[in-house]
Amino acid sequence: MPLTAMTPEQMEDMRRKATAARAAKSAALAEIKAGTLPVTVVLADEEPRLHKAKVRRVLLAVPGVGDAKAAHLMKAAGIHETRLIRGLTPRQRNDLTALLTPVAA
């Protein structure tokens, strides 16, 4: 199936939407880093700005979690490194929340 050609106006509109989505995701990650947005809210699937964010990127935004701890948490919860927040199973969400409780407290 061939792709339809987009008009310059449609392309500009798509660029604006993509820029806005990136800015919203960045702002949400900054809120996690600052401690104003609990990671438990993100894992409970209540933060639509981060649905398309990778789990690793969200974990790295949590204060006190670095590369090694993020890798350990993901392995312990059975989460592949390329998994998105939206793609987590309920079990993975619960496991990650339980593992993060001491870190986020």
pLDDT in tens, 81-103: 999 999 999 999 999 999 988 65
What is the number of other CB atoms lying within 10 angstroms of the CB of residue 63?
11
Say what the pLDDT of residue 103 is. Answer: 55
Q: Is the pLDDT of residue 105 over 70?
A: no
Options 1.10.8.50, 1.20.910.10, 1.10.10.10, 3.40.50.720; CATH of 9-104:
1.10.8.50
Say what the pLDDT of residue 4 is. Answer: 82
On the CB side of 27, CA atoms within 13 Å amount to 9
- Asked if 52 and 86 count as a contact pair (C-beta separation under 8 A), the reply is yes
**What are the residue boundaries of the structural domains of the chain, listed by start?**
9-104
- Per-residue confidence band for 1, with pLDDT thresholds at 50, 70 and 90: low
For the chain, the DSSP string reads -PPPPPPHHHHHHHHHHHHHHHHHHHHHHHHHHHTSS-HHHHHTT--GGGTTSBHHHHHHHSTT--HHHHHHHHHHHT--TT-BGGG--HHHHHHHHHHHHHHH-
Q: Is the pLDDT of residue 15 over 70?
A: yes
pLDDT in tens, 17-74: 999 999 999 999 999 999 999 998 999 888 899 999 999 999 999 999 999 999 999 9
